[in-house]
Amino acid sequence: MISRLIAALAALLLGAAGATAADTPPAPRPGGAVTVAALANPDGLDPHRSPADSTFIITMNIFDGLVATNARGELLPGLAERWNISGDGLTYTFELRRGVTFHDGKPLTSADVKYSLARMAEKGKSPHAADYAIIARVETPSPTTVVITLSRPSARFLSDLAYGWAAIVPEGAGDELARKPIGTGPFRFVEWVPDSHVKLVKNARYFVPGRPYLDEVLFKVIPDETARVTALRAGEIDITERVPPQMVDELRANRSLRVETYPSNTLSELAINAARKPFDDIRVRRALFHAIDRAAVLEGANFGYGRLIGSFMAPIIGEYYVDLNGRYPHDLAKAKALLAEAGYPNGFETTLYLPQPYPDYSAAGEIIASQLARVGIRVRLETLEWGQWLERVYKQKDYALTAIGHYGRLDPITLLERFKTGYNANYFGYSNPEFDRLLNEGDVTHDRAKRRAIVRRLQELLSEDAACVFLVSRDAIVGFQRDVWGYAELPIPGNRLTDVYRASR
């Protein structure tokens, strides 16, 4: 009561003082409900069986992992209160929190963890099975102790337990989870009406005291961006991600709304197939880098909301990030000279694939095509539906150029593994023995300083080799009703509303 009074007074005073008043969060208070826009109908609510963000945005509120993370990407205790890693880096011992129960009332035990880990690693069913193939054995010496033995040391393993797809589910839950998820998380599942909404209510017995603040969360499926913005304006929804950048100014002019931008752990690039002529020639790849006005791409595709990246790492990664943006300045003469040197004084013809579901990557591709025309590279654009994109680019690696983006990972080595020679997800045709050697070194070492040096060198190699034309780490643009606070952007796919609260009502 008193805190609310103080908050109100503070708001009043600050309001008189200046326009920034609205941006000062009032004190949290429990109660209330929010409606969140879901960008797509979830692809099922089973965290172990879906590759899609649309699932994790919801399921991360229903489930917990052994390990949790925050906006800075730090690894924190989740369902595991503490853990211990053996000297050889092979054995991980987790002590579970006591007194945690699932939403159906059953207590959490080590058997549930063992079941969940097995389910995450299930080949042919779990999209992330490969990440957990390293688990050799899981033992449960007591109901609150889990011992995981790896087949080889891996410094990234702990971070692999913090993603939305590493959720702990009740033993024996099975495929029912897709329609009726049961977890230990801050919110309990109530109903899912496909293509309409998912409803969650507060888990009163959540293990973090005083959380969550909200009594109820409704995810409303609104795939169309215009419709989302209108719904926000109309007060039908309280939070929406992916506000179209061209709408930010207009929404900020609306006094009942707030728009926040957060740096995100995402990367976009012009992917180049280095296994194919003429892109096997490093001079051609470097020419592309010089020919593309990346600042114009950031402005045109993202309306300036984001940062330019010079290698395959988002600035949000902090200590591991190195700014390599200065390596290839926008310079048409230089680009032409490099092309001439490589034997293409008059440029060449090529094809650039645009991924149909992503308007910002497609926009980047269109802008780039127009820019490359200025150095004589004639680009044919082709829009591929997502299935075709995956098939042609990802699986068959049968492409020349494509504009695309990736969600970052918590661990820099996990992220950079994509460029390892012969790696499944390396569709760039990139191969550099020095890169591979350093990557393996970085994967096994737990020495933080050594790891940092390796990761920085890896980024430099990608930049020197012009493995891609690295473009933008876009900002996450989120729109709120003015009284909704406590939202944070996590550096992994999905999000949690544990700390979100409503200041009024």
Partner 1 sequence: MRGTDLLARAASVAVTLVVVSIFTFLLLRVLPGDPALLILGAESPGDTLAEMRRELGTDRPLLVQYGAWVASVARGELGISIRHRQPVLDLIIERLPVTLSLSLLALLVALAIGLPLGVVAAARRGTVVDYGALAFSQLGQAIPPFWLGIMLILAFALKLRWLPTGGYEPWSDDPAEALRSLAMPSLALGVVLAAQIARMQRSSMLDVMGEDFVRTARAKGLPESRVVYWHTLRNALIPTVTVVGLQVGSVLGGAIIIEQIFALPGLGRLVLFAVVNRDWPLIQGLVFFLAALTVVLNLLVDLSYAWLDPRTRRA
Partner 2 sequence: MTVVAEGRRLGRGAVASLVAVALVAVVALVGMVYTPHDPTAVEIGKRLKAPTVEHPFGTDQFGRDILSRLMRGASIAMTVAGLSVAISVSVGVAIGALAGYVGGWFDEGAMRAMDGLLAFPALLLAITVVAALGPGHRNAAIAIGIVGIPVFARLTRSVVLVLASREFVTAVEAQGAGPAYVLVRHILPNAMGPVIVQASLAVGRAIVAEASLSYLGLGTQPPLPSWGKMLQEAQGYLSLAPWMAVVPGVAVAVTVLAFNLLGDALRDLLDPRLR
> Which lies closer to partner 1 via its Cβ, residue 418 or residue 451?
418
Tell me how far, at minimum, the Cβ of 390 lies from partner 1, in Å. 5
Number of residues near partner 1 (by CB under 8 A) = 37
d(CA 248, CA 139): 51
Nearer to partner 2, 45 or 247 (CB): 247
CB 10 within 8 A of CB 192: no
Nearest to partner 1 of 44, 185 (CB atom): 44
Does residue 127 interact with partner 1 by CB under 8 A?
A: yes
- The torsion defined by the Cα of 492, 156, 46 and 124, in degrees rounded to 10, comes to 130
Tell me how far, at minimum, the Cβ of 46 lies from partner 1, in Å: 9
Is residue 355 involved in binding partner 2 (CB under 8 A)?
no
Torsion of CA 457, 458, 464, 467, to 10 degrees: -170
Residue 44 interacts, among partner 1, partner 2, none and using kind-specific CB cut-offs from 5 to 8 Å, with: partner 1
| Torsion angle of C-alpha atoms 439, 440, 443, 447, degrees rounded to 10 | -90
Mark 383-412 with x for binding to partner 2 (rule: CB under 8 A) and - for no binding: x-x--x------------------------
Distance CA 143, CA 344 (A): 67
- Please identify, using beta-carbon distances, which residue of 371 and 432 lies nearer to partner 2: 371
- Tell me the DSSP string of 40-90: S--S-S-TTS---HHHHHHHTTT---SEEE-TT--EEESSEEEEEE-TTS-
Residue 221 found at the interface with partner 1 (CB under 8 A): yes
Query: Which of 16, 19, 204, 234 is the binder for partner 1 (CB under 8 A)?
Result: 234
Instruction: Select from 33, 201, 363, 390 the one that contacts partner 2 (CB under 8 A).
Output: 363
User: CA 235 to CA 18: how far, in whole Å?
Assistant: 26
Residue choice 209, 210, 326, 387 for contact with partner 1 (CB under 8 A):
387
Question: In this chain, which stretch among 9-17, 143-151, 255-263, 379-387 interacts with partner 1, using CB under 8 A?
Answer: 379-387
Show the site string, 248-287: x = touches partner 1 by CB under 8 A, - = not.
Answer: ----------------------------------------
| Nearer residue to partner 1 within complex by CB, 41 or 154 | 41
Residue 440 binding result from partner 2, partner 1, none, given CB thresholds of 5 to 8 Å by partner type = none
Q: In the beta sheet, which residues pair with residue 91?
A: 149
Binding segment for partner 1 (CB under 8 A), chosen from 154-162, 231-239, 449-457, 497-505, is 231-239
Stretch that binds partner 1, among 93-101, 381-389, 433-441, 450-458 (CB under 8 A): 381-389
Residues 6+ apart with CB under 8 A from 391: none
Q: In angstroms, rounded to a whole number, what is the distance separating the alpha carbons of residues 352 and 365?
A: 7
In single-letter form, the type of residue at position 476 comes to A
Tell me which amino acid residue 208 is. Answer: V
Q: Is 5 helix (H, G, I), strand (E, B) or coil?
A: helix
Q: Which of 419, 301, 281 minimizes the C-alpha distance to 369? A: 301
Backbone conformation region of residue 99, classed left if phi is above 0, alpha if psi is from -120 to 50, else beta: left
For tokens 């926009």, the residue is 363
Binding segment toward partner 1, per CB under 8 A, in 39-47, 283-291, 293-301, 315-323: 39-47
Q: How far apart are CA 11 and CA 3, in angstroms?
A: 12
Q: Is 51 in the site for partner 1 (CB under 8 A)?
A: yes
Closest CB to partner 2 among residues 341, 382: 382
What mask of x and - would describe binding to partner 2 in positions 249 to 278, judged by CB under 8 A? Answer: -x----------------------------
433-444 and 448-464 helices, crossing angle to 10°: 160
Binding mask 284-313 for partner 2 (x = CB under 8 A): ------------x--xx-------------
Report CA dihedral (497, 499, 503, 505) to the nearest 10 degrees: 50
- The listed partner (partner 1, partner 2, none) that binds 250, CB under 5 to 8 Å by sort, is partner 2
DSSP letter string, 107-134: BP-HHHHHHHHHHHT-TTT-TTGGGGTT
What is the size of the binding site for partner 2 (CB under 8 A)?
24
Q: Which stretch binds partner 2 (CB under 8 A): 337-345, 378-386, 412-420, 497-505?
A: 378-386
Q: Mask 182-211, x = binds partner 1 (CB under 8 A)? A: ------------xxx---------------
378-384 and 349-355: which strand pairing? parallel
Taking the complex as a whole, the smallest distance from the CB of residue 332 to partner 2 amounts, in Å, to 15
- 24 is a site residue for partner 1 (CB under 8 A): no
Helix (H) or strand (E) holding 457: helix 448-464
Chain contacts with partner 1 (rule: CB under 8 A): 41, 43-44, 51-52, 123-124, 127-130, 178, 194-196, 221-224, 226-227, 230-231, 234, 236, 356-357, 385-388, 390-391, 394-395, 424-425
